[in-house]
Structure 1
Amino acid sequence: MKGEPLALEHTLPSYGGRCLTEVMPGILVGVPSELIDDAVANAPTVVLFVVDGLGWHQLRRHRTLAPTLAAASDASAPVTTVAPSTTATALTSLTTGATPGEHGLVGYRVPTEMGLLNTLRWRAGGQDARVAVPAAEMQPVMPFCGRPAAVVTRAEFRHSGFTAAHLRGGAIWGWSDANGLVESVRDAVGKRYPLVLAYYDNLDKIAHAFGIGAEYRSVLAEVEQLSCALRDVLPRGVPLVVTADHGVVEVLDPPIIVDPDIVALTSGWSGEARMLWLHARLGAAADLLDACERYQSAAEIAPLSRVLEERWLGRHVTEPARGRLGDVVLVPRALQAFTMPDEDVPRHPLIGRHGGLTAEEMLVPFLVL
């Protein structure tokens, strides 16, 4: 499997089919779904183990490191995440069952009156935005279909703005290490919640910092061990479902800096390196689209009208969500990224990236152990 080529074809979300948006309605409400089999639908409690950054292709390519998960993938097919294939958008679609166009967290960075909101850190203009940008107004869809749920996540995430946006209503069980995660899941299952969601982010962190190399492979082996440990502590009749928010690509070349003459046609930008939205100055949308054609060999260049027509963000896009989108989006075709001249440069360049529409980023596992 190591020699298989990267899957860089353009892949759109399968909303209404094999997509993360179908998980919560299928498990908690009983909405018919090709994802949810009878054993899961009829279980009194389901444990959903969400591994940030565990892409379908990465799992299949490194199957010897995760034999239990890989064996489960042999009996299943991948599901799609949402667009953009980024954590804040995808996790919110997973927990709410809503498309990005419905819940409104349409990217890693979205424009607000305070400036660009970093949706993971819930900061804008260098400040904590939890008061100025209320999570329930920014993301109005109730998570977990309004049903009881336990959430096992890092203890430090308990009071974050993003937690309020995509996990509100859930009972938070904090963990600080892998053993604590397993113990918290076991204890939460004992409370008979219909859903226990456990979230693990180490794989994504390592991919960002080191790419898909030795460090990534080491953590993937840990994910295998953690999945088996979770399976082994669960009572009979409680299924363990393993899934993810997105996959990862390795970007080794420096980001493409958007040219100054294109920046001059914009009033701002949003999104992320692999799905960058450019917001046109008043009356300059057509000129901006034309100017961006210089990047056509490196990126898919789409006006907002095409994104809406092709339903990248779902069938319905609310007015607030639409107002957070730009006029032109740049989506790298291959292993590249975009950046704006005024963007804060991370202290250490990111190697593992996601947010785009390649199959490497868009396809994730949905495995029942």
Structure 2
Amino acid sequence: MKNVGVINALKFERAHSKEKNKTLEVDPGNLFRGKTIANTLKNTGIDCFTHMNITNAGNACSKLIFEGSTIIPSLKPSDLIVNLRKNIEKTSGNAYFFVHLDSLDTISHEYGPQSHEYQAELSTITYLIQKELIEKVNSETAKETLILITSDHGAVDVNPEETIYIKLDLKNTLNLEVEDTKKPVSPIGSPRDIFLHIKKEKLNWTKEILKQKIGEKAEIIDTEEADKKGLFGLKESSQEFLERTGNLLIIPKEKQTVWFETKNKSRISFLGQHGGLNSEEMLVPFAIAKLIDLKK
């Protein structure tokens, strides 16, 4: 994606662009070239279905990572769970149903994972699973169904007003982006994990400047070193991955947040964040059970 620059993967549009809702004229497959879970299962005769919110059901990213699965859009968690039950009951043979409930993540960002709003949303989802799936699904289907509940990440409460904002000389510090525009690659990631594409000759200088401004409130580490320490997984990352992540990583400690000054002086407002190394944002639930056992 070197000729495109930084991409908002979900919307598949150029990040920080004034042209909103303008889909890029490049192959989304450049983002992911692996074999999807659905395609792997289909090759063994297992039908795959994906239940998710309608806002993301039709975008390029969803079509890419759920290739081989029938995507079933829903308006809210309520109709999603009901549609899931109906789909499970009418589907014969081996099948895999992937369910994405994104409302809890949205609430967590807006109000924080320890908020009353978060607990209310969690209670709502729990109620829907219990009342509309477990209690109403027919017993024969329940005997043949396993339910697995997990998450892609946790979350941590933060105080946006304590965010450390860094001002960099972007033009002279960051690597150039696409050849036709010569714009710097903007900082990417989140206030809990910031990835920078720094010019090689400016790397050590930038690290020292950041250490002076941030102090002991964050780890500042080369991405290659982070990769060797296993922060991106157990296996060594590909060169393509390292090119996309840049060469310098800022990981705020505890519940600290760090971001960069923008031209419009915009400020972080979310009370919940994830992406860092706090145990609250790294640990995720994992529960599995036979659906029939939950009906008892």
- Give the shorter-chain TM-score range: 0.7 to 0.9
Unaligned runs of 5+ in 1: 1-110
1:281–1:141 CA distance, 2 compared to 1 (3 A):
same
Listed one character per residue, the Cα deviations across residues 229-257 of structure 1 (whole Å, up to 9, x for unaligned) are: 33332521201111111111111133211
Secondary structure of the 1:195 match is strand
Structure 2 Cα separation of the partners of residues 140 and 271 of structure 1: 21
Deviation at 1:165, TM superposition (A): 3.0
Alpha-carbon shift at residue 194 of structure 1 (Å)? 2.5
Secondary structure of 2:100's match? strand
Deviation at 1:156, TM superposition (A): 2.9
For residue 204 of structure 1, what is the aligned residue in structure 2?
A: 105
Tell whether the 8 Å contact from 1:136 to 1:164 is kept in structure 2 after alignment. Answer: no
Whole-Å separation in 1 of the counterparts to 2:258 and 2:198: 17
Q: Aligned pair in 2 of structure 1 residues 281, 348: CA closer, same or farther (>3 Å)?
A: closer
Q: 2:168 aligns with which of 240, 260, 266?
A: 260
SS state of the match for residue 97, structure 2?
strand
Conservation of the 8 A alpha-carbon contact between 2:223 and 2:242: no
Deviations along 1:90-132, one digit per CA (max 9) or x if unpaired, are xxxxxxxxxxxxxxxxxxxxx7533321122222134446443
- TM (norm. structure 2) is 0.79
> 2:7 matched to 1:113?
no
- Which residue of 241, 249, 254 corresponds with 1:334? 254
What is residue 128 of structure 2 aligned with on the other side? 226
Distance apart, 1:318 and its partner CA: 2.2
CA 1:348–1:259 in structure 2 vs 1: closer, same or farther (change >3 Å)?
closer
Alpha-carbon RMSD: 2.4
Contact 1:355 1:361 in 2 (8 A): yes
Of 31, 35, 39, the residue aligned with 1:142 is 35
Greater RCO (CA < 8 Å, at least 6 residues apart): 1
Measured after TM superposition, the shift of residue 344 of structure 1 is 7.2
Q: CA deviation at 1:151?
A: 0.2
Change (3 A) 1:301 1:210: same
CA contact (8 A) 2:81 2:129 kept: no
| d(CA) in 2 for partners of 1:343, 1:218 | 37
* Deviation of 1:147 (Å): 1.9
The residue that corresponds to 2:142 in the other structure is: 235
Q: Deviations over 1:194-217 (max 9, x none)?
A: 310111111111111112311111
* Aligned mate of 1:214, from 116, 139, 146: 116
Bigger Rg, structure 1 or 2? 2
CA contact (8 A) 1:135 1:164 kept: no
User: What are structure 2's unaligned runs of at least 5 residues?
Assistant: 43-47, 176-184, 290-296
Q: Contact (CA 8 Å) 1:266, 1:288: kept in 2 or not?
A: no
Number of residue equivalences: 259
TM-score, normalised to structure 1's length? Answer: 0.64
Q: 2:223 is matched with which residue: 301, 304, 314?
A: 304
2:63 pairs with 1:164: yes
CA–CA distance in structure 2, aligned partners of residues 362 and 339 of structure 1:
20
Letter in 2 for 1:220: L
Which amino acid counterpart does residue 33 of structure 2 have in structure 1?
Answer: P
Q: 1:183 to 1:122 in 2, by over 3 A?
A: same
Equivalent residue for 2:193? 275
Aligned 8 A contact 1:150 1:193 in 2: no
